[in-house]
Amino acid sequence: MKGDLTAIADEGLTADMMPSLWIAAQWVMRHGSELLSGDLARDSGKAAATGSAIAFPLVCRNRPIGVLVGIDPLPSAALPALSASLSLAIRSILEAPAIALDNALSLQRLEAESVTDDLTGLHNSRFLNVVLRREAKRASRSGRPLSLLFLDLDGFKQVNDTYGHLAGSKALVEASGIIRGSARETDIAARFGGDEFSVVLPDTGCEGAVSVAERIRDRIGACVFLASDGLSVHLTASIGVATLPDVAASADELIRAADVAMYRVKDAGKNGIHIAQEAPAF
């Protein structure tokens, strides 16, 4: 649990009831016990809350993992009436859903971890291959373009050699934040391996892909890495751009084209962008 709450199911919930929902749910998660309130604004001390509420924790392995909340938009002068036997029955009924929810959340976390790079928090190469194949098929069916950026951090080896691998890892994390922040919401950023990154750009032609690449390269070049450690490290980026169907007809061809384009930048002196002009021959 990171403390973030989200509604996974609701019935009859309106927008003006949402503040009361979150306030009631947060109270239950914080205290780990049921909430009976005739006037949420009075009991919570928060003016945003309105109405009355009954809320029960979903408990699994002795910890609350969710909350079942019932909201009435109108406050009441009296507390909601629940007998001890009814409260016990409700808690007993909620045991099975709590276990099922915990299992579902655990599976969701495992699935997320399996496609996430441990260091940077970006997607990993496994997810990149899956999503690229999916998007390539979709692009072929729809006739829409699909672009891929391959990015390598110039001079990164020197960071490791000079300051050590812990500093190098921190620089990778900082670079990944720049890449993620420079990509658009619909783009998929991934760490391909080492100091190489990829960005999948669905429904994006060459011109749009180059715009994203330029933004990433400029921001990496302007960044002072490891400044929080009292260091002043500067890196640049070599980026290859490939677009389906311009230079590739499949996900594998797109990867090869972007990779070759990136190494063209390396061979030409680094810190630049190269657009794949034709499918590489192998």
Q: Identify whether residues 88 and 182 lie together within a single domain.
A: no
Stretches in the chain below the pLDDT threshold 50? 1-2, 280-282
- The answer to whether 124 and 197 are in contact (CB under 8 A) is no
Q: Are 212 and 188 in contact, with CB atoms under 8 Å apart? A: no
pTM over 0.85? The answer is no
Helices (runs of H) and strands (runs of E) counted in the chain: 9, 8
In a domain, 282, yes or no: no
88 with 150, same domain: the answer is no
- State the total domains in the chain: 2
Task: Report the side by side order of strands in the sheet with 236-244.
Answer: 188-193, 196-202, 146-154, 236-244, 272-275
10 located within any domain: no
Distance CA 152, CA 238 (A): 5
Q: Do the beta carbons of residue 217 and residue 273 sit within 8 Å?
A: yes
pLDDT at 114: 63
Residue 281 lies in a domain: no
249 and 188 in a common domain: yes
pLDDT of residue 80: 83
**CATH code at 256?**
3.30.70.270
Residue 174: its pLDDT value, please? Answer: 97
Among 93, 114, 135, the domain boundary falls at 114
Residues 149 and 50 in one domain: no
Q: What is the pLDDT of residues 75-110, one digit of tens each?
A: 888 888 888 888 889 888 988 988 888 777 776 666
Residue 54 lies in a domain: yes
Residues acting as catalytic residues: 195
Same domain, 140 and 266: yes
Domain boundary at 56, 80, 114, which? 114
pLDDT of the residue at 278: 62
Give the CATH number of the domain where residue 58 resides: 3.30.450.40
Provide the residue range defining the domain that includes 252: 125-275
CA dist 229 and 227 (Å) reads 5
Residue 268: how many other CB atoms lie within 10 Å = 11
Tell which of 58, 90, 114 closes a domain. Answer: 114
